[in-house]
A and B are shown apart, each in its own frame.
Chain A
Amino acid sequence: MEELAALAGGFAVAVTPYNIALMVLGIVLGVVIGVLPGLGGANGVAILLPLTFSMEPTSAIIMLTSIYWGALFGGAITAILFNIPGEPWSVATTFDGHPMAQRGKADEALVGAFTSSFVGAIFAVALITFLAPVVAKFALRFGPAEFFAVQFLTFASFIGMGRGSPAKTIASMCLGFALACVGLDGVTGSLRMTFGHEELLNGFKFLVAVIGLFGIGEILTSMEDGLKFSGADAKLRMDAVIRTWRQLPKMTGTFIRSCIVGCWMGITPGGATPASFMGYGLAKRFSKNGKNFGKGELEGVVAPETAAHAAGTAAMLPMLTLGIPGSPTAAVLLGGLLIWGLQPGPLLFVEQKDFVWGLIASMYMGNIVGLIIVLTCVPLFAAILRVPFSIVAPAIVVVCAIGAYTVNNAMFDVWMMLVFGVMGYLFSKLGYPLPPLVLALVLGDQAESSFRQAMLISQGDVSVFWSNWLCGAIMTLGVVMAFWPIVSAVIAKFKGPDHVARAA
């Protein structure tokens, strides 16, 4: 219970009127940053970082982490309302969140997203509070082979997601891998598929692709449907919070699964984006409502949001205890710690008790304050859908363009966004699923470099992936997941002809 005493001390440090004010300011800024695609949490924190040099380290990190929490919350808003993921980790939220909005349930989707974000975050903070040293040691076991195993598991838990033909799913995923290859090859240090064009040096940035594929693609589809948002005429009722909360207890299993997946991915560090995909994939497979996913199921919003927020929060742990950032935003915060004169690493918990426990206390506080702020704004966000399409659509295109430009400060990305938009439209017309492409684009290069690092270390021996129990177990689980349709068919066969007949 030593931790509880330390935590109480942390609350004493964190809870001052000044710090609470900074927290509110940070969260509001963060929500705005999260809503604007392109201007991600990492950029937001980086821009404001120099402002904090003259502040107390504890106050500074409270403000900056609050921006991060705000961005985590805010990413879901545009994902649900307009099918435009404000942050990479909200891509999976669009799969069911936007269909919910189209069916006039935008408010429920928003409440569900915010609440599950909160649950995921609190779970992860509790983990940090009580298990930091143990968990930090566990993270050290992850070498290239283990990283690849986790990425393989993410892909595997996602295979079979596509409703369409498996061939189309594979085609879409391969296109994603090909796009992820463009730019610098980290393992050989040479340029790939840039064909001498300077614009391609940077590769295809995930956010630009996503803004185009989802945001612009959605606008094109809506234009075809007669220039209006479906679901726009939904009645706004103020009891959305209670209505949604009543449905949540049924999803306890999904919450627990996503919390664990999220924390795992945040610590190892895989990041919030793969966590959200994995959370969604697992829920789709193991939930009773799994077959309805993609049509606007609340559980399909809960699963990725819980996992993303748990991962985003848990990413703070390796940053503090090991000095490795679990997410791009954590990387910027890490730079901040050094500038404030704090050295993250094994000794931070010993030498800077006030700072560390103040930060942990502020994580609890920040998420509670954040939840209250975003929940009170739900009717406001949902009301945006009632604005006529002809007014909102141009605004969305402008915001998308600014977002795409912000990613690299390059005009080229704005053109790419439009190309991706047309591609997204064609994909949905031809029945090719987008999620496999997006997943391959976001995880493709990481999986590739982990695989090649592992191959370098083992000198080309593939058995390295089964060289220890940790890696072997994850890989085996991945293989089982990948062949789950066959596995479940076999199980059904053994259960007797009755089940087979029913399944057929």
Chain B
Amino acid sequence: MKTTLKSAAKRLGLAVGLAAAAVAPAAAWEPTKAVTLIIPAGTGGGADQMARFIQGVIQKHELLSKPVIVVNKGGGAGAEGFLEMKASASDPHKIIITLSNLFTTPLGTGTPFSWKDMKPVRMMALDQFILWVNAEKPYKTAKEYIDAVKEAPDRQFKMGGTGSKQEDQIITTAIEHETGGKKFTYVPYDGGGKVAVQLVGGHVDSSVNNPIEAVAQWRGGQLRPLCIFDTKRSTYTQKVTDSQSWADIPTCEESGLPTNYQMLRGIFTTKNATPEQVAFYADLLKKVMETPDWKEFMEKGAFNQTTMTGADFEAWLTDAEAKHRTLMQGAGFLAASAQ
């Protein structure tokens, strides 16, 4: 027994020494088996696209010696995926991509989890929201549109959006603070692409689609962007249509609609992951973000390329969770058990 202990100690010492030697440039931990990347949403949506893109970039540039397996666990507005992360707290081979349902699902459905049940790795980007109307409608600015809503009977204007009690409906509620008590009729659909097409078909009056969901219809002259829900204009100045770039879209604030909202596109790992494990993933994702493929992807979707790790990211998350709670409480979206 003694000898085993001794040799174990010796080996441990050796391992510590090796780790110390290796610590300087590279992270000390590496996955020992395939890494599972969970998508808490269905196939084909924004989170799904980004996750599969990350998987593709890792594979193409051989950034990881072990394979990455992508699985969709979108049940219960993503609760299924988050609960799996919570249940496998000690398995560092699982990572998850998040969207706003990280906050809205526990608050709206009362499913017991929070971002604190996982370990934040890196904010990859923030997804933007834009107020869109059908190009055949006369509204040229957000102010004109909001004025029309103010003058019309209550609930006459229809806002199409993805899901219920999620980001699109939260933004709609926020807009309603500026319409003098007039409400929208919010119509929930099951995907952003569908919302954009319903807007083109004139079945709803406006949407708050993400840029990538509606860019094709904008370029085709069927939809018109009124304003972007960010504090600053987009930084992408390359022309998207014949005459306009993303940077030409005014912020909602400068159009007299003081509302802003962005959606987190971040990666988390499981709760009991060690600092080395978190550092490994943060570093891996940094390499992904440095590829030209990623930069092109960001520009196509007009993403806000803010990225954070560690304490900054945690502070951002705490803040965002509080913001969602306030917004959802104000709108009466909180589930009984989340109040």
Q: Which residues of A contact B (CB under 8 A)?
A: 42, 46, 49-51, 53-54, 139-144, 183-191, 194, 198, 201-203, 318, 322-325, 328, 331-332, 334-335, 338-339, 341, 343-348, 408-409, 449, 453, 456-457, 459
Contacts and interface: CB of A to CB of B under 8 A. Distances in A.
A142 B197 CA distance: 9
A325 B216 contact: no
A331 B43 CA distance: 7
A194 B76 contact: yes
B163 interface: yes
A344 B56 contact: no
B298 to A, nearest CB: 12
B165 A347 contact: no
Interface string B169-212: 10000000000000001111111011011101101100000001
A42 B158 CA distance: 33
B127 interface: no
A453 B189 contact: yes
Given A53-B293, A331-B191, 6 more contacts: A49-B56, A51-B59, A140-B200, A322-B200, A335-B48, A408-B73
A46 B197 contact: no
B222 A346 contact: yes
Given A53-B59, A346-B222, A143 B201 contact: yes
Interface in B63-84: 70-73, 75-77, 79-80, 83
B33 interface: no
B52 A456 contact: no
Nearest to A338: B49
Contacts of A334: 44, 193
Given A144-B203, A335-B49, A338-B49, A186 B164 contact: yes
A202 B330 CA distance: 28
A338 B277 CA distance: 31
A366 B56 CA distance: 25
6 closest A-B pairs by beta carbon, nearest first, are: A345-B216, A331-B44, A202-B75, A189-B164, A346-B220, A201-B76
Contacts of A201: 75-76, 79-80, 83, 111
A185 B212 CA distance: 26
B317 interface: no
Contacts of A453: 187-189
24 contacts: A46-B43, A46-B72, A49-B52, A50-B55, A50-B56, A50-B59, A50-B70, A188-B164, A188-B165, A194-B76, A322-B197, A323-B216, A324-B194, A332-B44, A335-B44, A339-B53, A343-B300, A344-B216, A345-B217, A346-B216, A346-B220, A449-B188, A457-B203, A459-B155
B318 to A, nearest CB: 24
B333 interface: yes
A89 B55 CA distance: 30
B297 interface: yes
Contacts of B307: none
A17 to B, nearest CB: 25
Interface of B: 42-44, 48-49, 52-53, 55-57, 59-60, 70-73, 75-77, 79-80, 83, 108-111, 155, 158, 163-166, 169, 185-191, 193-194, 196-198, 200-201, 203-204, 212, 215-217, 219-222, 293, 296-297, 300, 333, 335
A189 B203 contact: no
A343 B52 contact: no
Contacts of A51: 59
B133 to A, nearest CB: 16
Given A201-B111, A325-B44, A183 B76 contact: yes
Contacts of B169: 189
A323 B166 contact: no
A341 B53 CA distance: 12
A322 B191 CA distance: 14
Contacts of A49: 52, 56
Contacts of B53: 339
A416 B111 CA distance: 22
Nearest to A190: B109
Contacts of B55: 50
Contacts of A347: 216, 219-220
Nearest to A340: B56
Contacts of A322: 197, 200
A339 B56 contact: yes
Nearest to A329: B43
Contacts of B188: 186-187, 189, 449, 453
A312 B217 CA distance: 24
Contacts of B79: 198, 201
Which of A51, A142, A324 has the largest count of B CB atoms less than 10 A from its CB? A324
A184 B76 contact: yes
A301 B22 CA distance: 65
B49 A189 contact: no
